[in-house]
Chain A
Amino acid sequence: MAGTVLTVTSGKGGVGKTTTAANVSVALAMTGQTVVVIDADIGLRNLDIVMGLEGYILYDLIQVVEGRCALEQALIRDKRLDNLYILPASQTKDKMALAPEQMVAVCHELRTWADYILIDSPAGIERGFQNAIAPADEILLVTTPEVSSLRDADKVIYLLERHVGLPPRLVINRYNVPLVRRGDMLSRQDVLDILAVDLLGVVPEDDEILVAMNRGHPIAFDQNAYASMAYHNIARRILGYNVPLMPFRDQTLWQRIRSWLSF
């Protein structure tokens, strides 16, 4: 069975594409799937850093498409999971060094043995975006519940529907449950009302995600962490399981006790 290509994109920068791509890849690999995650952000390479694999890079994606090395040589096998690989971007070239057909060709080769190929798309809707969506079977659209992020996500949905005929599945990132409860942040339903696409998952805002990334150890590795559950649920939904949304931890134990006693 040929593998599935999932492109993680957003339009707007800084909403958590790389974080999502890294954590979902880890979660998928932990279910036993063979996963390759490609950093398509040529010139601004950072997937390898958050995965903690920077020191293992010998070749990159551009060298592969230019024929300077074999695809197998550029792939880095994860230290923690045998069935997880990353294909790093080049830090020296730019988006124009890569063409959509080349991305399709690379993915075509990976499909023969990998179950899932994730592509971490760069921000924007220009060449880098075109490269990232060209080989996609499915699109994972990341947005935060902010008006600017939503506006860009809406535009990306329009571009996807128009140019590739693929409606994306949505990941709402940095969902701040107390703010939503106070009415100061768009709720999940508000977001879905506007974008009108399928929801793949909601990731709560959580400091641990950030801390784990900075350590080069995505939080999905730690299955007991609170926010980790969101990524594992997304992975299981990608695999076709029907998983309900996780219960959000929006109150401390002390607040919960206080509300029970109602004072």
Chain B
Amino acid sequence: MAHSSSSSPSESPTVRIRGRGNQVVFELPEEEPWEDVLALLRAHLEQARGFFAGEPVAVDLGQRPLDVDGLQQLRDLLAEQKMDLSALMADNDQTQEAAQTLSILLAEATPEETPNYLRPPWEVLVSAERPERTTDPATGDDAPGDGEEEPLAISVDVLPTVPPYIFRGIVRSGQILRHAGSIVLLGDVNPGGQVIAGGDVLVWGRLWGTVHAGALGDARAVVAALDFEPVQLRISQYVARTAKEESEAPARWFRRTRIAGPELARVVDEEIVVEKWDAPGARFRRE
């Protein structure tokens, strides 16, 4: 996991996502233009595809001065992604005043001490690599079509401090199992159940529900299961309804005569590929 913020973090804006108690905190850069920060946040949230949806989140603005309009933009952006701005951490008088006008709860920047076992031990770094600004030698101006139209290249690092979550049991219809790191599941995922992981998903059992690996944007994540028959499969921003043709009927998991055996899904050339676990090249490689 080495490909993100290593390229001069001072130049590329970085959003840090951390846990505080059982809450998610977005730490936004203090210096970058506000529009750029919002664009970065929007791009990441769209890529993370609802990983945080329905969750109350807090935002740490540091010393950035922000008026009512700027704050409202942030709130609207989060609402678009079905997230609720539950608290704000700000070290600036103007921002604090604006938050009071919008009646947003102000929280202490330093998290209250939570016992170690309650604190989500993970952190996510989101950074944008802006396309190089090329200068037109004739005019000395920026070449047309730069920066603005190019989408931000987002890179995500789930810091390796995230331990995997091991779950034993059945993920039933309507149930969501969500973890920022990898998930190991000893049991089944029934149709209608969901597993959402920041890292890999390994199911020692039947995978018949919906699964989203690399949900924070990591396309290197893989999904593996002994009986691989998900309703829908997502890795990072890629979606596959199902990889098997005979699996179209809603009742495909009933009266099956054969189970294909353990299979593994990963992203190859912008597409999700599902292969038998021992197919040539399918074995998980360290990248």
Assess whether B174 is interfacial by the CB under 8 Å rule.
Answer: yes
Assess whether B117 is interfacial by the CB under 8 Å rule.
Answer: no
Contact of A154 among B173, B250, B251, B254 (CB under 8 A): B173
Most buried by B among A158, A183, A186, A187: A158
Q: Let me know if B255 and A155 touch, CB within 8 A.
A: no
Q: Let me know if B254 and A155 touch, CB within 8 A.
A: no
Assess whether A194 is interfacial by the CB under 8 Å rule.
Answer: yes
Contact of A147 among B170, B175, B188, B254 (CB under 8 A): B254
Given A151-B191, A155-B192, is A186 in contact with B255 using a C-beta cutoff of 8 Å?
yes
Please measure, in the bound complex, the distance between the C-alpha atom of A164 and the C-alpha atom of B173, giving whole angstroms.
17
**Interface majority SS (helix, strand, loop, mixed), chain B:** loop
Chain A contact residue count (CB 8 A cutoff): 14
Within 8 A of A (CB), among B132-179: 170, 172-175
A158: chain B residues at CB < 8 Å are 172-175
Please measure, in the bound complex, the distance between the C-alpha atom of A183 and the C-alpha atom of B254, giving whole angstroms.
10
Q: Let me know if A154 and B192 touch, CB within 8 A.
A: yes
Q: Let me know if A151 and B173 touch, CB within 8 A.
A: yes
Assess whether B190 is interfacial by the CB under 8 Å rule.
Answer: yes
Please measure, in the bound complex, the distance between the C-alpha atom of A214 and the C-alpha atom of B105, giving whole angstroms.
59
Please measure, in the bound complex, the distance between the C-alpha atom of A157 and the C-alpha atom of B255, giving whole angstroms.
22
Write the nearest CB–CB distance from A170 to chain B, whole angstroms: 14
Q: Let me know if A155 and B173 touch, CB within 8 A.
A: yes
Assess whether A101 is interfacial by the CB under 8 Å rule.
Answer: no
Chain A residue nearest in CB terms to B255 = A183
Write the nearest CB–CB distance from B150 to chain A, whole angstroms: 44
Chain B residue nearest in CB terms to A146 = B251
Contact of B172 among A147, A157, A187, A190 (CB under 8 A): A157
Please measure, in the bound complex, the distance between the C-alpha atom of A190 and the C-alpha atom of B251, giving whole angstroms.
11
Q: Let me know if A147 and B173 touch, CB within 8 A.
A: no
Assess whether A196 is interfacial by the CB under 8 Å rule.
Answer: yes
Q: Let me know if A190 and B191 touch, CB within 8 A.
A: no
Contact of B250 among A147, A152, A157, A190 (CB under 8 A): A147
Within 8 A of B (CB), among A115-155: 147, 151-152, 154-155
Please measure, in the bound complex, the distance between the C-alpha atom of A183 and the C-alpha atom of B170, giving whole angstroms.
26
Please measure, in the bound complex, the distance between the C-alpha atom of A194 and the C-alpha atom of B172, giving whole angstroms.
9
A194: chain B residues at CB < 8 Å are 190, 253
Write the nearest CB–CB distance from B183 to chain A, whole angstroms: 17
Chain A residues proximal to chain B, CB less than 8 Å:
147, 151-152, 154-155, 157-159, 183, 186-187, 190, 194, 196
Pick the 9 closest A-B CB pairs, nearest first.
A158-B172, A154-B173, A155-B174, A155-B173, A154-B172, A147-B251, A158-B175, A151-B173, A186-B254
| Known A154-B174, A154-B190, A158-B175; further 13 A-B contacts with Cβ < 8 A | A147-B191, A147-B254, A151-B192, A154-B172, A154-B191, A154-B192, A155-B172, A157-B172, A158-B172, A158-B173, A159-B174, A187-B255, A190-B255
The 7 sampled A-B contact pairs (Cβ below 8 Å) are: A147-B254, A151-B191, A151-B192, A154-B190, A157-B172, A158-B175, A159-B174
